[in-house]
Amino acid sequence: MKAIVPQDLLNSINGPLMWEHLVEFSKWRKESGIDEELKSLAYIQAQMNSYGFKTDLILHDAYISLPQKARIVTPDGEHRCITHSFSQSSPAEGITAGLVDVGSGSAAEFAGKDVRGKIVIVDGVAGAVVSQRATEAGALGQLHVSPHEHTHEMCISPVWGSPTEQTVGNLPQTVVVSTPLENGTAIRAKLAENPDYQVTLHADVDTRWRKTPILVADLPSATGDDEEPFVFFTGHHDTWYYGVMDNGGANATMMEVGRVAAERRDLWQRGLRIVFWSGHSQGRYSGSTWYAEEHWEELEKRALVHVNVDSTGGKGNIIVTDTTAAAELRALAVESIWDQAQQEFSNRRMARAGDQSFWGIGVSAIYGNMSEQPAGADANASAAVFGGGNRKGAGTGWWWHTPDDLLDKMDEEILVRDTKIYFHTVWRLLADKVLPLDWAEHGRYLSEELNAIQAGIVGKFDMSVLIERANRLTEIATAFNARLATLSDEAGYARANAALIGVSRQLVILDYSEADRFEQDAAIMTPIYPSLRPLRDMAQVEAGTDAFKFLTVGASRARNRVAWGLKQAIEILEQASAELDCKQN
C-alpha cells in the first residue's frame, strides 16, 4: 500500500539540467505582469510540454503593486532606501514630518506614543502587521531600518489576494521605505540629539490592475483521465529582480520532479497538476487566490494535497529541518526529509504565507520554504519572516529579495538534495494506494492545543465537547489507520481515500482559517485553529466582566464551529470503517 520511492528515479534527478534552467531564469526579470515574465514562462511551458504535460497559459486581472524609486532627504543629506509593494506613493515634494521611534513596531512599542502625522522609525524588514498598526495609529509614513547593509523588497499588504470592494480599504495608507542599518543608525543618532528632527520620504509605487499569467501543467496517471483526482504541486514564478533562488530554484525543482515522475506514470494512482503562479511577490498571492476562486468546485472535487515549493538550492542553505507541514502530513515530511537529507523534521506548522490559498477548500498542505542558512550570529532578515523560536534555520541568505539573488548564489548539490526531498514527497502522494494522510496525528495535535487552552480558562468556559471529540477523532483515526493496512483491493483503496479527503474538507479550514470556505483570511500569521481565539483570550480577562461576556459570545460560536467539523470528520471515518468491515465480512 505504501509506495517504494524508486531509487533509479531519485538517481536520475539531473543537477546539470536544472542548472541549465537556472541559467535561463537568470536572463529575465520576472516581476508580476511585466513582459519578461512571460518570456521566462514560455521557456518553462516548452519544457513541460516536452515532458508530456498538457499545459495552459492563463492571463487574468490582478491588483499588482510594483515599487519604483525612493529616497530619504534629511537636513544632513540624502540616504539610500527602497519603497515597498502596496506602499502609498508620496506627492512630488515628498512627505515631511517628525520622527517617532517605535523600536520593533510591536503593539507595546506603539502604546502611549502619539504618531499621528509623524513618520515612525522601525527596526526590521517591512511587513503587513507593522504597516497596519502604523496606519491605524495615524502615522504619515514608515522608515524601516534593515538589520544589515542590505534592504529587502517586501509586499506589505495585509489583504490576501486582489482586494474586494470590502477589503480594498484595508490596504496600507502610509508611505513606507526601508534603509540600510548604517543609515538608520545615523538618523536615530540625529533624532537623539534633536527630538524635533524631521525627514522627507519620497516613494513612487505603481499600483494598478494588470494582466498576470498562470501556467498550469497537467498529467494524468497512465490509466486516468481529465477528471481523476490530482496531487497539486505549485510554486510562484514571479520574482523580485532576477530571483534565481527565489524562485528560480523552486521552478527548476518543479520541472525536474515533473520530468522524472513522468517516466514511471504507470505506477501513479492519481494525476499530477503542477502550477507556476504570478502575483506572489507583488500581488500578495493574487494568482493562487484567483485560481482558487475560479476553480473552486474542481479543486474541491479533485485536489488531494497541496505541495508548495519555494527557494530551493540556495548556496549555504544546508538546513531543511525547519520546513513546514500540516499535522496530518507530518509523517510524510519526517520520512522524506530523513531519507533524502538525514535531518529530523521539527514538526513546524504551516505558515499563513506562500500561496496557501486553498485551505478554505479543505486541501491539506505540505512545505513552503525548504532550505535555509544555519542559525548563527549574523543578522538574516528573512529569518524574521520565516519565524523565530527554537529553530536550526535562519532564513535563505542575505541576498533574499535583493538584486543580488543571481546565479552565483546557487549550489547545484543543494538543489539536487532539495529536489530529492520534493520528489520523495510527491512520489508517495502519487503512487501510494492510500494517501498518506494521518488524521490520528491531527487529533493528537488538536488535543494538545485544546488542553493547553483549557488549562488557562479552568472554570470559565466549558470546552468538554471539543476535548471529547478531539480524543474520539484520534481514537477512530488510529483504528482506521490500522484498518488500512489490511486493504488489498481497488474498491477498498478508493473508499479509504474518499474518507481521508472527506475529513480533510472538514478539518483543514478549521485548522487554518477563521473565514468561511469562500473567503480568505488576512495575510497575517494565525495560531492553531484560529477561530478558537476568543477561548485563548479568556485567560487574560476577568470572568463576569463585560469584556468576558463579549468573549463568551465569540467563544460559543467558535466551539460550535469546531465541534461540528469534528463531528462530521468522526462520522466520515466511522462510516468508512463500517463499510470496509462489512465488505471484508
pLDDT at residue 388, rounded to an integer: 57
> Is the confidence at residue 567, as pLDDT, over 80?
yes
What is the mean predicted confidence (pLDDT) over 104-114? 94
The model carries a pTM of 0.96
What is the mean predicted confidence (pLDDT) over 297-326? 97
Q: What is the mean pLDDT of the chain?
A: 95
Same fold, 65-208 and 439-584: no
- The model's pLDDT over 64-88, given as tens digits with 9 standing for 90+, comes to 999 999 999 999 999 999 999 999 9
The percent of residues in the chain predicted with pLDDT above 70, rounded, is 97
| 439-584, CATH topology level | Transcription Elongation Factor S-II; Chain A (1.20.930)
pLDDT at residue 376, rounded to an integer: 76
Cell 468538554, located at residue: 464
pLDDT at residue 333, rounded to an integer: 98
Say how many C-beta atoms besides its own lie within 10 A of residue 473's C-beta.
Answer: 25
pLDDT at residue 420, rounded to an integer: 98
- Cα separations in angstroms, 389 against 136, 241, 319, 377, 384: 28, 30, 15, 15, 10
List strand residue ranges (DSSP E) for 20-114, in order: 54-74, 77-79, 82-83, 95-101
3-class secondary structure per residue, 124-172: CCCCHHHHHHHHHCCCCEEEEECCCCCCCCCECCCCCCCCCCCCHHHCC
What is the mean predicted confidence (pLDDT) over 150-174? 96
pLDDT at residue 382, rounded to an integer: 61
- The model's pLDDT over 521-554, given as tens digits with 9 standing for 90+, comes to 999 988 999 999 999 999 999 999 999 999 999 9
- How is the chain split among helix, strand and coil, in percent rounded to 5? 45, 20, 40
> Is the confidence at residue 200, as pLDDT, over 60?
yes
pLDDT at residue 92, rounded to an integer: 96
- For the record, the C-alpha cell of 149 comes out as 547593509
Q: Categorize the per-residue pLDDT at 584 as very low, low, confident or very high, splitting at 50, 70 and 90.
A: low
> Is the confidence at residue 147, as pLDDT, over 70?
yes
> Is the confidence at residue 415, as pLDDT, over 80?
yes
pLDDT at residue 380, rounded to an integer: 62
Q: Categorize the per-residue pLDDT at 239 as very low, low, confident or very high, splitting at 50, 70 and 90.
A: very high
Return d(Cα 17, Cα 281) in angstroms, integer: 26
pLDDT at residue 379, rounded to an integer: 56
- The model's pLDDT over 82-98, given as tens digits with 9 standing for 90+, comes to 999 999 999 999 999 99
Sorted by where each begins, the domain ranges of the chain are: 7-64+209-431, 65-208, 439-584
- Check: CATH 3.30.1330.10 for 65-208? no
Q: Categorize the per-residue pLDDT at 242 as very low, low, confident or very high, splitting at 50, 70 and 90.
A: very high
What is the mean predicted confidence (pLDDT) over 356-366? 97
> Is the confidence at residue 375, as pLDDT, over 90?
no
CATH of 7-64+209-431, one of 3.30.1370.60, 3.90.1720.10, 3.30.465.10, 3.40.630.10: 3.40.630.10
